[in-house]
Chains A and B, each alone.
Chain A
């Protein structure tokens, strides 16, 4: 079974700071997913990565397949970035649709 480890579990930073959240996993995957969960529960998919790097606005996600490690970066952080960020992995299940295995999440608070 794949283990997904995230760090840090909690992070408080000042507005404008560069944020890094890390994720490591234990076995081969089909993709790594970064998700954002706001209070109230709604989850939004930010990135799905199989290799390399992706960027969307102020968010950057990278993955190193050999080291089984991914990072999510937020540049010029803003209070509206405050949320729980969750790393998840999918693995080939053979059924054509892969369920996700999740990390515990990183609770990020950006103070003005």
Chain B
């Protein structure tokens, strides 16, 4: 099993729903990342957390709300999403140095109806 786990693996939600994606890493890392992969588009960075502090927000709409309660857990809270938010959401972790190899979770495939 990968050192980075994500739950759920698949999620279908309506535009008025509120849901959360969870990421957990068992690698002892202190940096965690959220990425989005939409169909036919390159992967794109959403958020970076380093030692539980958000260090980068890549102009992500406020309907996506990240939370990092400790260095091992990362959440992405979703509310009032749009169908164009349907995508694969990937979490990654690394040592908090620059540069460092990132280790990816399997992703959550989200469908917004």
Contact = CB atoms under 8 A, between A and B. Distances in A.
Interface string A27-64: 00011010100001111110010100000000000000
Interface residues on B, range: 20 to 34
Interface residues on A, range: 20 to 34
B106 A96 contact: no
A85 to B, nearest CB: 13
Contacts of A4: 42
A60 B31 CA distance: 28
15 contacts: A4-B42, A41-B88, A41-B109, A45-B101, A48-B101, A86-B43, A93-B98, A96-B96, A97-B33, A97-B96, A97-B97, A98-B100, A100-B43, A101-B45, A104-B42
Contact of B106 (A41, A45, A95, A98): A41
Contacts of B30: 97
Interface of B: 2, 30-31, 33, 35, 37, 41-45, 48-50, 55-56, 58, 88, 90, 92, 94, 96-104, 106-107, 109
B104 A45 contact: yes
B58 A99 contact: yes
Contacts of B37: 41
Interface SS of chain B: helix, strand, loop or mixed? strand
Given A41-B37, A97-B94, 4 more contacts: A35-B104, A41-B88, A48-B100, A96-B98
Contact of A45 (B48, B98, B102, B107): B102
Contacts of B49: 97
Contacts of A105: 42
B51 to A, nearest CB: 8
Contact of B55 (A30, A33, A95): A95
